[in-house]
Every structure is written in C-alpha cells, then in structure tokens.
Amino acid sequence: MEIPPLSERPVSQEEEEAFLRSIQPRRGLFGRRFIGPRRWRPDWGPRVRGGGGRGGGRSGGASQSGEDAATVDSGSQGGGSGVAAWLRADPVDWGIRIAVVVLIVAGCYAVYINGVAEGWWRAWGEKPTAIPTRSAMSGRAPTPTPTPSASGEAAMSGGYQVGPDGVLVRSAEHAASTYTLPELPQAATENSERGAEAAAEHYLALLVYAWNTGDTTPLADMSDPNSEFANTYITNIGELYSHGWADGTASKITRVLRVEPMEPNGTDVPENTVFVKFRISSIDGKECNGTRLKVQESEYESTLSFLMTWQDGKWIELQGRVISDDE
C-alpha cells in the first residue's frame, strides 16, 4: 500500500534550512537573551515567490498565505520561546550557572570581610560608639576627647606599676607604714657600758628603719650634728626617696667584738664616751631608683663600730664606721 505524501507542494531549500535551524539544540551559558516581540512593519511581511499573480490559482494562493501566516506567527512568538528554552537548560548548564553565582557571592563576602578588618567600613549591624556632645549638636567643633596615653595608663615595669611621678609603686604589703619605729630599750637609758652597747644596738635598728621608710628623723635625733657617718647616711637616704624607695633592708648583730670606754682627748673624744664594735650580717633588699629596681637578697658580713657618748641624759652617736668583708 502506498502512503500518499502529506503535501504535494515541493519543499524549497530555504524552508529546509529554516527547519534544520529550528531543531538544533541551544548552546551557551545562560541561553539566548529574551528580546520580546518585535513590532511588525509592512516590509517585514513574507515575500511571495512563484507565479501567484492576479491570475494565480486558488490553491496556490491559499497555500502561500498559509506559509506567510506561519512565518509571521513564528516571528511574533520568538521571545517567549527564548525564555522557555533558557529555563529548559540541561543539568550541566544549571550546575555551571549555580557555580558561577556561588563564586560571585563568595568573592563579595571576602571583600566585605577584608574591608571590616582593614577598617574601610563597619561590620553589618555595628553601631558607632561615639555619643554626640553638646558642641557637636550645636554645630561647633567638638572638643577632642583625650585618649589614654602610655603615661596615663597603668604602665608596668618588672611587675610593678609606674606611678604618676615616674617611680615604681611600692607594694602595699611592703609599704613604709608596715615598718614599726624601734623602741628604745630600757638598758639604753643607763649611763654604763651596757647602756652604751644597748644604745648602739638601737642606733643600728634606727638606721635599718630609715632605709626601709625614708624617715631619718629618729636617726638624726640620736646622732651628733657633726657626725660624718650619720650625715652621709641621712643624705643618701633622702636622695633615694626623692625618686625611689628601699624595702627589705635588714641587719642583725652576730657578735659583740668590743665594748670599751675611751679616754677623752679634749677634741673629738669627750668624756663619757664608749667604743662599741659589732659583727653584723646584712641584706640590702630592694632598692628602687625611678623605674629601675635593684634586688640584693644575699647576706654579707661587715664590721660596725660606734663611738657612743652620754650627753644630756642619753646616749648619742658621735662617730661611726662600717667595713664590709668585700672591701
């Protein structure tokens, strides 16, 4: 049985090329851009080929007009088919599109994070901490707010806080107020060799107290005004405490070497003078000079000698001398 053709009209070469183009798959990352329907103009209409003049047959004219209508209709619906084709992309195209979008978003986020870190802009949701002042709201130039500087902050040096005077702050547990003024023993009130020895021991205690507190008044009260030994120590302690302090100084008598009355010579040795000589062990402790701290906690041995004289009912240091074993 022979199947008749669908149409007896021959197919032109242009129609065949148009058909082949319509069935080719669409390519590209995002497909064709949707342009939309064009506005029809008369010169865009289909051209009639062949002998379809005024005397042309009815069937030929109808067929030709049908082709023309199909051509115009396909041109008017091209935009809609472009969007539909874009949405009907295969999974590979959709995967590529999603990957590109993710890369763009990640790049924008990286720029945002870097900008926040570099201070180019504030983080999302962050509010400025500056509070408008009266001068700012009145339109005048705002008064600059002082920022904490290195000198205004609690600067530290060697574990100690630096005070406003530039000197390390002494710890409260070792403050000068923690040291008690030594009391004069009862034996030191006696005009005797034992009294002179007790007075010399008390004088050493006052010397240690002066180093740890900076209070040299009790030491000066028990010293002769012309004592070079006393004046040297009083000056050195005063200079240290003008820009520093001392803590942990200690001395103890390990042995009494000599207690002997002295013959007056009419010049530098008056009557009622006793020579006292001790063997002592000492620790210098901590000595702060500005922001420098010197720590000496090892003991050392010395020989300490005094000339104690009885004046106005009490013992007074006349002269003194200390010789360290290291000298």
**What is the average pLDDT value for the chain, to the nearest integer?**
75
Q: Is 315 exposed, middle or buried (0-12, 13-18, 19+ CB in 10 A)?
A: buried
Residues 116 and 3: their CA atoms lie apart, in Å, by 77
Is residue 306 within 8 A of residue 315, CB to CB? The reply is: no
pTM over 0.75: no
Instruction: Show contacts of 292-301: CB within 8 Å, 24+ apart.
Output: 293/157, 293/158, 293/160, 293/168, 297/248, 300/324, 300/325, 300/326, 301/254, 301/325
| pLDDT for residue 5 is more than 70 | no
Q: Is 198 exposed, middle or buried (0-12, 13-18, 19+ CB in 10 A)?
A: buried
Is residue 181 within 8 A of residue 302, CB to CB? The reply is: no
- Domains of the chain listed by start with CATH number: 172-324 (3.10.450.50)
pLDDT of residue 296: 92
Band of pLDDT at residue 13, cut at 50, 70 and 90: confident
Which pair of tokens denotes residue 279? Answer: 């063997």
Which pLDDT tens digit goes with each residue over 138-181?
Answer: 333 334 434 444 443 445 555 678 888 888 998 888 899 999 99
Helices (H), 119-214: 134-138, 193-213
| pLDDT for residue 236 is more than 90 | yes
CA distances from 302 to 120, 233, 294 (A): 68, 16, 20
Instruction: Return the percentage of the chain with pLDDT > 70, whole number.
Output: 60
